[in-house]
Structure 1
Amino acid sequence: MLPYQRIFHLPFGFVVTFVFTGESMWTNWEPDVPKNRIRRPRAKRRLLAAYQDARAEFARDIATMQQGSVLIAEDDGKALNLTVVKPETLQ
């Protein structure tokens, strides 16, 4: 299986690329990971929401290709959040 990748343009000029090889998944940020680059809480929430939407869309693609659910585990520093992403129905 060739690596599957998608590029998403996020607010404030950030671009995130998700890559899935069949065995692992990783992301690449441009410019670098925005840890402390955005200071305003509202802007941080906007960027995080856009990233989470992009990640969910990518996970849905993977679930559909694999014909099975994908589990996303996210640790926000306060709690571990688990999300199950189900595949779309193929026509």
Structure 2
Amino acid sequence: MTDVLECRLDIFEGPEKLRYEALREAMKAAVEEVRELAEGYAARLRPDPALFRQVAEWITVERRCCPFLGLGLNWSEGDAVWLS
């Protein structure tokens, strides 16, 4: 038997769905660079404390619909913020 990798966007309803979409759009608008990695992709985001918190919230919500994804958020020296 093969594990199914399937996003469950149908788990979001009402205000939660609107919040998820708003967080996703804010994150997409903040992408400054995308890199392909051996095991996926990484996106460099605008170094903004409020955005960092929003992306962290998005990761928390995203894990509910796509628990098979490994997501990380890193703000390193030199103001490089990476979502991978």
Same fold (TM over 0.5): no
Relative to its length, the structure with more helix (as a share) is 2
State TM-score, norm by structure 2: 0.36
TM-score w.r.t. length of structure 1: 0.34
